[in-house]
Amino acid sequence: MKKILVVCGNGIASSSIMVSVIEDYLHENGLDANINKASLMDCDDDFFNSFDLVVSSTKLSDFNINKPVIIGAGLLTGINDQEILEEIGKVVNE
């Protein structure tokens, strides 16, 4: 089962909303994944790279991440949210 990390600045509100949207999408499409959330301040390269996918509310240019990273801000705003969810679904299906 794929492991997804959802991160935002404080690891509370934005990441919780993104987790909820992702869980709903996966459930509706018969997909399953382990989803964790965290504060950006609590993460380092090793932590990021222990997941199969990282979904972040912002760009992660200060880290050396060798896993797929999807900017998930659209899950909060509704802008391009379906495209973001489809990207997540592709990674979960791999």
Over the stretch 12-39, which tens digit does the pLDDT of each residue have? 889 999 999 999 999 999 999 999 999 9
Alpha carbon distances (Å) from 42 to 3, 9, 23, 81: 18, 10, 23, 26
Instruction: Name all domains of the chain by residue range, CATH numbers in brackets.
Output: 2-93 (3.40.50.2300)
- Does the pLDDT value for residue 59 go beyond 80? yes
- Nearest CA to 22 out of 88, 73, 71 is that of 88
- In 9-61, the DSSP E strands lie at 33-39, 53-56
Residue 30 host element (H or E): none
Catalytic residue among 4, 8, 21, 35: 8
Is 8 one of the catalytic residues? yes
- Does the pLDDT value for residue 11 go beyond 80? no
